[in-house]
Amino acid sequence: MNFNDIFKSSFLENITSVSILDMAVALVLAFGIGMFIFLVYKKTYSGVMYSASFGTSLIALTMITTVVILAVTSNVVLSLGMVGALSIVRFRTAIKEPLDIAFLFWAIAVGIVLAAGMIPLAVIGSVIIGVILLVFVNRKSHKNPYIVVIRCDGHDSEAKAKSFLDGKTDRCVIKSKTAQKGFVELNAEIRPKDDNTDFVNELADMDGIQSAVLVSYNGDYMG
């Protein structure tokens, strides 16, 4: 095969099977929806440390997926080679928040759907998903959970502390108990009746109670 045969082959024709207009429309929409995904992620993030780079990667991932799927749909031979190339890629970045996985799949799905030409599905689906995430992720419980760590000197003071918490809160559940010679440590999940936390001071002043610590948490357990 000489140089002229390359230009006579259908390879170059397949590359131009996706028009410039289609490419531009798909990429502009991918950028727009990627920005929407980024804003929803930023609005609904509830972790400890917000990562701006992860939010930016959602935009890039939407556009990159669109480019890849456009290439795959334009050439069957190229699609087979790309599947083989992508199958050897391994990602080692740890996903710290379970909800981050949903945003990653959302960005990838939008890129695939846009490149496939299903623009209404990508736009309407993204709006619905975004609204659902904004409603449910930002939904706050009217009673915030707390963990109370109580250090007492024996069974009698433990029973008094448990009875006191039952009367001062709407819910009190012992999550863990550590017993050693001379003291007992309790970890209890409570739901206060209101925002007043003065009952912790009263608990710490009770006979037999060495210390009482109140910690707020989001209700999720790891492990």
pLDDT at 102 over 70: yes
Q: What is the pLDDT of residue 86?
A: 61
Write the DSSP string, 8-50.
HSSHHHHHTTS-HHHHHHHHHHHHHHHHHHHHHHHHH--SSS-
Torsion of CA 128, 99, 102, 36, to 10 degrees: 50
SS3 154: coil
Name the residue type at position 137.
V
In degrees, rounded to 5, the angle at the alpha carbon of residue 130 between the alpha carbons of residues 126 and 131 is 120
SS3 91: coil
Domain borders along the chain are 3-137, 146-216
How far apart are the C-alpha atoms of 99 and 179, rounded to whole Å? 37
pLDDT at 101 over 70: yes
How far apart are the C-alpha atoms of 122 and 109, rounded to whole Å? 8
SS3 159: helix
SS3 27: helix
What average pLDDT does the chain have? 79
pLDDT at 2 over 70: no
SS3 180: strand
Q: Among candidates 51, 174, 165, which has minimal Cα distance to 104?
A: 51
Q: Among candidates 110, 132, 119, which has minimal Cα distance to 40?
A: 132
Rg, C-alpha atoms of the chain: 28
Per-residue DSSP letter, 18: S
**Paired strand residues for 187:** 149, 176
How far apart are the C-alpha atoms of 151 and 138, rounded to whole Å? 35
- CA torsion sign for 123, 102, 95, 108 is negative
In the chain, the percentage of residues whose pLDDT exceeds 90 is 17
Select the CATH number that applies to the domain covering 146-216 from these four: 1.10.260.40, 1.10.150.120, 3.40.50.10860, 3.30.70.260: 3.30.70.260
Of the pLDDT bands very low, low, confident and very high (cuts 50, 70, 90), residue 7 is: very low
Per-residue exposure over 84-107, b if at least 16 CB sit within 10 Å of its own CB, e if not: eeeeeeeeeeeeeeeebeebbebb
The mean pLDDT of 104-113, rounded to a whole number, is 90
Assigned token pair, 139: 């939904």
pTM of the model: 0.62
Q: Which residue has the tokens 């556009």?
A: 63
